[in-house]
């Protein structure tokens, strides 16, 4: 059942691709819209059973030899994420139907979006770490396609490449960590690994595995210093930003850390690394959001900041599994708050991205320097912007206020937790959290008042905007309604979603989960909030006086600059190295190949010890074999002195056909037949290509090059000869041939060669076929492009 839920978007994506030419363009969006709506309803019907601490599991055997199964589990934690993936996904697709231009490719857009939905569902539902990794990388690939959707824009292409490089590098690190976890526990199951990890803290791979898993999570969730890919990813269409970068993809790292908290959470390094990275990300994102002039860039840095907030809470609450008494309650409180703010952030940030999309769509710009006074033209959009921004700022009457107050409570409790260094550094965490919240308030006010109030900045490109269509207003309106509704009825979310999720992370966590209230009396959190509002308002009114100081921060001291310089440095190094050996001279390539072969074999001999060479043969050499060997040697030497291509090709054919005859002598008819076919085909192809080859010229070499080439040839020949003679008396390692002798029992093949190619090397053969398939697609694409270019002039005539 769960497997069907995951692959449904994939099947519809394939169907859209196949039938797109047969249906109207506007219907494609509605077909795609039906998928998350259906999935949301299917997942939502499990809410009562999940709230009763049940879970749903689906298992299919995949690679039983290695114990890898397609196991998917729906529990309290994954339920929150699948509802966000499908619920926000439905609203985003509805919004995109009215947002996209008629010139955009609806087929590609919705195919990529549904592919991404499948990938995200697979990530949060997979119980196998290998299956989880496969879906994890699929999110990177599909997000790359979505970010680069407007591929004619250079910034879109660069942003897509940047996000792919950073997130997939983290993904490779995460895979290495997963493999270490398998070595430690002997299992690929996430549940089994989490059960055994607390007893393996002394294992040599415990901390390396922890570091690599964290690296994967931090890169995916745009944590400092890997946050640099997220602002550049804003070149994607606004529906993509609203879906990937507020509600889903950037939450994948959050999910991974939450899921592995029961296994790693009791370790102090897990606590401090996540908390420290989250705090730095929280502050750095909010600090940089204030300086942005592009509305989507502002939202990008605000997303980075909010993700840092959630990560900080996960770090503070990570020790809940091993806590006790009041400390366990405080840890659980932080985890609960992290999940609560995760949901809140998805609602108000999704609404804000759609608001910015409406402004861009209706006005034609997102530049704050060209915006102002839109309140009179876009009154409904202005109301939605107030709701989303005030929730992000943590003001009363909106859900962000509730989770922000709980966040302040969590950071204030750090000094009370039995964590090494907590008492000494607790005040600093509170200070950083308060400063970040202050900047959050400022950029929230910038988003609303700089865009919608004041006088319109009219220039020659200014057009009088009109309110967006009802189709673009419905999705953010639904999210804005949730923002307000969760403030007044938070217990509904808590009882049915948050508490079941806490039970997954903490044994008996629902009993320790707090009740959510808007008013807790006059406490420290309230005074901190009043200070944020007071100083934040003052900072906003004085913005023109202190914001110019941002320009004194050296641009070359940024991680973006480091990334660009590193990438360009590797490109220059690669170009230098490549131009050295890829010089277009075929003899040079053979020189490199044979030189490497000689060195590699020589180093191997040096490492494993001398190889005994024997001239003893288990069988005698017949006169026919000797004669054939002489013919091959004569043909090989004659090629060196050939004066025409035809002569050289025919002599080369003599070598190939002689090898086929050798196979006949050695009673290997299948190999002989294969060799005959290949040699005949290649010889014919050589002859066919005669008309397209340049004129035959014998290269004149200096004496030095002739001596060098002759030396390499002699050493290469000696190396091959010695290896061949040493095989008969080699006992360093057990021969692998004995394994293949039982080919019939192992693979059901009576012919050992066919069994090796078709079964033992099946995966390799499949990849070889895939390479040929990709090459074929490339050739086909180039031919089609050439045909289209050739047709353009005729169309214009």
73 in helix, strand or coil? strand
Rounded CA gap, 652 and 638, in Å?
10
DSSP 618: S
| Per-residue confidence band for 612, with pLDDT thresholds at 50, 70 and 90 | confident
When the pLDDT of each residue in the chain is averaged and rounded to a whole number, the result is 88
| Residue that the structure tokens 């497997």 belong to | 3
Rounded CA gap, 14 and 205, in Å?
41
Q: Which residues contact 154 (CB under 8 A, 6 or more apart)?
A: none
Q: Which residues contact 107 (CB under 8 A, 6 or more apart)?
A: 16, 17, 20, 28
Other C-beta atoms closer than 10 Å to the C-beta of 526 total 14
Q: Which two tokens stand for residue 109?
A: 């857009």
What 3 state SS string does 515-537 have? CCCCCCCCCHHHHHHHHHHHHHH
Query: CB–CB of 658/631 below 8 Å?
Result: yes
Q: What Å distances lie between residue 435 and 291, 425, 536, CA to CA?
A: 16, 16, 10
Q: Which residues contact 79 (CB under 8 A, 6 or more apart)?
A: 43, 46, 47, 50, 497, 500, 501
Rounded CA gap, 118 and 85, in Å?
10
Please report how many Cα atoms fall inside a 13 Å half-sphere around the Cα of residue 714, on the Cβ side: 6
Pick 403 or 554 by higher pLDDT: 403
Q: Tens of pLDDT along 411-467?
A: 998 888 777 777 788 889 999 999 999 999 999 999 999 999 888 776 656 567 889
| Per-residue confidence band for 795, with pLDDT thresholds at 50, 70 and 90 | very low
Query: CB–CB of 543/93 below 8 Å?
Result: no
Q: Tens of pLDDT along 632-689?
A: 999 988 988 887 888 888 888 899 899 999 888 888 887 888 889 988 988 888 888 8
Provide the pLDDT for residue 794. 40
Query: CB–CB of 17/107 below 8 Å?
Result: yes
Alpha-carbon radius of gyration of the chain: 33
455 in helix, strand or coil? coil
| Residue that the structure tokens 């259906």 belong to | 38
Q: Which residues contact 698 (CB under 8 A, 6 or more apart)?
A: 643
pLDDT higher than 70, residue 261: yes
Provide the pLDDT for residue 613. 72
Average pLDDT over residues 131-145: 95
Query: CB–CB of 73/6 below 8 Å?
Result: no
Q: Which helix (H) or strand (E) holds 56?
A: strand 56-63
- Phi and psi of 62, rounded to 5°? -120, -65
Q: Tens of pLDDT along 177-208?
A: 999 999 999 999 999 999 999 899 899 999 99
Rounded CA gap, 379 and 476, in Å?
14
- Please choose, from the candidates 14, 224, 21, 240, the residue with its C-alpha nearest in 3D space to the C-alpha of residue 118: 14
Average pLDDT over residues 689-714: 81
Average pLDDT over residues 205-231: 95
Query: CB–CB of 498/51 below 8 Å?
Result: no
Query: CB–CB of 267/295 below 8 Å?
Result: no
pLDDT higher than 90, residue 19: no
| Per-residue confidence band for 797, with pLDDT thresholds at 50, 70 and 90 | very low
Q: What Å distances lie between residue 316 and 37, 277, 401, 574, CA to CA?
A: 35, 12, 20, 44
- Phi and psi of 126, rounded to 5°? -75, 135
CB burial of residue 240 (10 Å; 0-12, 13-18, 19+): buried
| Per-residue confidence band for 230, with pLDDT thresholds at 50, 70 and 90 | very high
| Per-residue confidence band for 796, with pLDDT thresholds at 50, 70 and 90 | very low
Average pLDDT over residues 288-306: 94
Sign of the torsion formed by the C-alpha atoms of 513, 517, 518 and 523 = negative
- Please choose, from the candidates 332, 340, 342, 343, the residue with its C-alpha nearest in 3D space to the C-alpha of residue 510: 332
Rounded CA gap, 222 and 303, in Å?
9
* Chain centroid to CA 61: 25
Pick 558 or 72 by higher pLDDT: 72
Please report how many Cα atoms fall inside a 13 Å half-sphere around the Cα of residue 569, on the Cβ side: 6
Q: Which two tokens stand for residue 714?
A: 């002699």
Q: Which two tokens stand for residue 719?
A: 């190396």
Query: CB–CB of 9/117 below 8 Å?
Result: yes
Other C-beta atoms closer than 10 Å to the C-beta of 24 total 9
Provide the pLDDT for residue 321. 61
DSSP 61: E
Rounded CA gap, 77 and 80, in Å?
6
Pick 108 or 421 by higher pLDDT: 108
Domains annotated for the chain, with CATH where assigned, are 286-541 (no CATH), 586-762 (1.20.120)
| Per-residue confidence band for 324, with pLDDT thresholds at 50, 70 and 90 | low
Percent of the residues in the chain that have a pLDDT greater than 70, as a whole number? 95
Pick 508 or 742 by higher pLDDT: 508
Angular region, 735: left φ>0, alpha ψ -120 to 50, beta rest: beta
- Please choose, from the candidates 115, 341, 326, 109, the residue with its C-alpha nearest in 3D space to the C-alpha of residue 238: 109
Average pLDDT over residues 468-479: 94
The counts of H helices and E strands in the chain are 35, 2
Provide the pLDDT for residue 473. 96
Average pLDDT over residues 356-375: 89
| Per-residue confidence band for 793, with pLDDT thresholds at 50, 70 and 90 | very low
Q: Which residues contact 368 (CB under 8 A, 6 or more apart)?
A: 292, 293, 294, 295, 298, 446, 450, 451
Other C-beta atoms closer than 10 Å to the C-beta of 15 total 13
pLDDT higher than 70, residue 792: no
Average pLDDT over residues 733-737: 72
Percent of the residues in the chain that have a pLDDT greater than 90, as a whole number? 54
- What residues does 68 pair with on adjacent strands? 63
Sign of the torsion formed by the C-alpha atoms of 620, 623, 625 and 631 = positive
pLDDT higher than 70, residue 468: yes
- Please choose, from the candidates 519, 511, 522, the residue with its C-alpha nearest in 3D space to the C-alpha of residue 490: 519
């Amino acid at each position: 059942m769960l497997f069907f839920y995951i692959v449904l978007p994939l099947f519809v994506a394939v169907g859209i691709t196949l039938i797109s030419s047969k249906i109207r363009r506007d219907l494609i969006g509605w077909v795609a819209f039906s998928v998350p709506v259906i999935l949301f309803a299917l997942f939502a019907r499990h809410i009562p059973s999940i709230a009763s601490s049940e879970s749903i599991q689906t298992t299919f055997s995949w690679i039983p030899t290695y114990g890898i199964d397609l196991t998917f589990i729906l529990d309290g934690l994954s339920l929150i994420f699948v509802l966000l993936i499908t619920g926000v996904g439905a609203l985003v697709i509805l919004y995109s139907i009215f947002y996209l231009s008629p010139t955009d490719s609806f087929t590609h857009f919705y195919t990529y979006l549904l592919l991404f939905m499948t990938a995200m569902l697979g990530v949060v539902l997979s119980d196998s770490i290998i299956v989880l990794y496969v879906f994890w990388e699929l999110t990177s690939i599909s997000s790359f396609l979505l970010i680069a959707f407007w591929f004619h824009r250079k910034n879109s292409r660069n942003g897509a490449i940047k996000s792919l490089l950073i997130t997939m590098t983290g993904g490779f690190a995460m895979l290495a960590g997963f493999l270490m976890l398998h070595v430690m526990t002997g299992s690929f199951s996430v549940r089994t690994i989490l059960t055994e990890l607390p007893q393996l803290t002394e294992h040599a791979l415990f901390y390396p595995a922890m570091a690599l898993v964290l690296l994967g999570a931090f890169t995916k969730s745009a944590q400092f210093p890997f946050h640099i890919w997220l602002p550049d990813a804003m070149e994607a269409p606004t529906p993509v930003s609203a879906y990937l970068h507020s509600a889903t993809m950037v939450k994948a790292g959050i999910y991974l850390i939450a899921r592995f908290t029961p296994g790693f959470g009791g370790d102090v390094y897990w606590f401090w690394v996540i908390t420290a990275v989250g705090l730095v990300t929280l502050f750095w994102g909010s600090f940089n959001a204030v300086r942005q002039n592009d509305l989507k860039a502002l939202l990008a840095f605000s997303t980075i900041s909010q993700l840092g907030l959630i990560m900080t809470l996960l770090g503070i609450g990570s020790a809940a599994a091993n806590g006790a008494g009041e400390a366990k309650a405080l840890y659980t409180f932080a985890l609960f708050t992290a999940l609560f703010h995760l949901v809140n952030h998805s609602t108000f940030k999704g609404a804000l991205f759609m608001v910015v999309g409406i402004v861009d769509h209706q006005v034609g710009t997102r530049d704050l320097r060209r915006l102002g006074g839109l309140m009179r033209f876009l009154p409904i959009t202005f109301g939605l912007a107030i709701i989303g921004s005030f929730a992000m700022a943590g003001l009363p009457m909106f859900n962000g206020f509730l989770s922000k107050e709980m966040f302040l409570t969590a950071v204030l409790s750090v000094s009370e937790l039995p964590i090494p260094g907590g008492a000494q550094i607790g005040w600093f965490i509170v200070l950083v959290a308060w400063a970040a919240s202050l900047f959050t308030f400022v950029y929230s006010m910038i988003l609303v008042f700089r865009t919608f109030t004041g006088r319109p900045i009219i220039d020659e490109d200014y057009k009088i905007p009109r309110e967006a269509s009802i189709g673009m207003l419905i999705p953010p309106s639904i999210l804005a309604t949730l923002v307000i509704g969760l403030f007044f009825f938070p217990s509904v979310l808590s009882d049915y979603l948050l508490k079941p999720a806490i039970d997954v992370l903490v044994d008996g966590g629902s009993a320790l989960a707090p009740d959510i209230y808007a008013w807790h009396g006059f406490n420290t959190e309230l005074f901190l909030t009043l200070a944020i509002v007071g100083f934040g308002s003052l900072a906003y009114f004085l913005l023109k006086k202190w914001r110019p100081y941002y320009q004194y921060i050296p641009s070359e001291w940024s991680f973006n600059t480091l990334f660009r310089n590193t990438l360009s440095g590797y490109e220059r190094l690669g170009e230098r190295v490549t131009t050295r050996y890829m010089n277009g001279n075929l003899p040079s390539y053979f020189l490199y190949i044979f030189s490497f072969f000689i060195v590699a074999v020589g180093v191997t001999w040096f490492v494993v010890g001398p190889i005994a060479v024997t001239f003893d043969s288990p069988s005698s050499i017949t006169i026919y074999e000797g004669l054939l060997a002489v013919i091959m040697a004569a043909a090989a030497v004659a090629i060196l002195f050939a004066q025409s291509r035809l002569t050289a090709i025919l002599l080369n054919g003599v070598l190939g056909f002689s090898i086929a005859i050798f196979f006949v002598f050695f009673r290997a008819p299948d190999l002989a037949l294969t060799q005959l076919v290949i040699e005949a085909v290649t010889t014919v192809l050589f002859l066919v290509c005669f008309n397209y080859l340049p004129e035959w010229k014998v290269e004149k070499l200096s004496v030095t090059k002739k001596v060098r080439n002759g030396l390499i040839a002699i050493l290469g020949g000696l190396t091959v000869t010695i290896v061949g003679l040493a095989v008969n008396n080699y006992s360093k390692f057990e021969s692998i041939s004995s394994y293949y002798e039982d080919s019939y029992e192992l693979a059901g093949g009576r012919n050992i060669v066919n069994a090796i190619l078709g079964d033992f090397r099946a995966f390799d053969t499949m990849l070889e076929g895939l390479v040929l398939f990709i090459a074929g697609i490339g050739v086909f694409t180039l031919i089609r492009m050439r045909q289209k270019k050739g047709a353009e002039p005729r169309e214009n005539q």
